Amino acid sequence: MLLCRLSGMFSVVLISASLYRVDAQLSKPCESPKQWEGNVYTVDTKTNSMRRARVVYDENAPRVRITEDISIGNQVDFYDVVYLHNVEYRLNLKTRQCNVTALTRPFRQFGVPQDANFIGKATIGIAGIPGENVVIENYNGQFRDGTKYFGDVTYPDCIPVSRGVYYESGLSLDRFYDINVGIADPMVFIPHKECAEKLSGS
């Protein structure tokens, strides 16, 4: 019976060791694509909200277009947001009201930040059966303002799978789907006319 318990403990240790197998090759961060389009699903424990979003992402500028619906309880709001050179142009699609806000925080990458730490490699799905798994790399780190993050990207192409960002009193967790590398239409980064009027009028 003691032997039985011991071997049970041993297999638990083995499982956790293989889940976070630290690979010497992974000490350097991989480089995620700088331009892509995709879908993002976000849960935010601070605002108790859920978000479904379409994202066009350009880390080079940086600039991001997010068409999102945000649900808090039964209420759903629809926004069309452009982040351009650290200014947020947020248009409420129901009211057509636009708020223009200069962001004080540094840009937060959806892909792996260059100074991220690598935690290890893991398999989602069944290891060893083609088409039934995806290999991911786990990373974590801090943005320049000290905000902590962690995430997963695919191996070896470094495509975002999920990302979590900690706030003072919560966690925002993004899951990424259906990513296509490249940007079909760079015109999507032009803020809506409601936002341009707002800028010149204030």
Ligand X SMILES: *[C@@H]1O[C@H](CO)[C@@H](O)[C@H](O)[C@H]1NC(C)=O
The CB-of-65 to ligand X minimum distance in angstroms stands at 15
CA dist 134 and 114 (Å) reads 23
Between residues 7 and 99, which has the closer beta carbon with respect to ligand X? 99
The CB-of-133 to ligand X minimum distance in angstroms stands at 41
Between residues 100 and 119, which has the closer beta carbon with respect to ligand X? 100
Burial of 112 (0-12, 13-18, 19+ CB in 10 A): buried
- Neighbouring residues of 122: CB distance < 8 A, sequence distance ≥ 6: 19, 20, 21, 135, 136, 138, 152
CA end-to-end span of the chain, whole Å?
Answer: 77
Between residues 93 and 158, which has the closer beta carbon with respect to ligand X? 93
The CB-of-87 to ligand X minimum distance in angstroms stands at 14
Between residues 93 and 134, which has the closer beta carbon with respect to ligand X? 93
**Positions that interact with ligand X (CB under 6 A):** 90, 92, 97, 99
The sign of the dihedral angle between the CA atoms of 140, 181, 196, 84 is positive
Between residues 165 and 195, which has the closer beta carbon with respect to ligand X? 195
Name the phi and psi angles at 150, rounded to 5: -150, 165
The CB-of-72 to ligand X minimum distance in angstroms stands at 12
Both tokens assigned to 32: 């995620």
The CB-of-120 to ligand X minimum distance in angstroms stands at 39
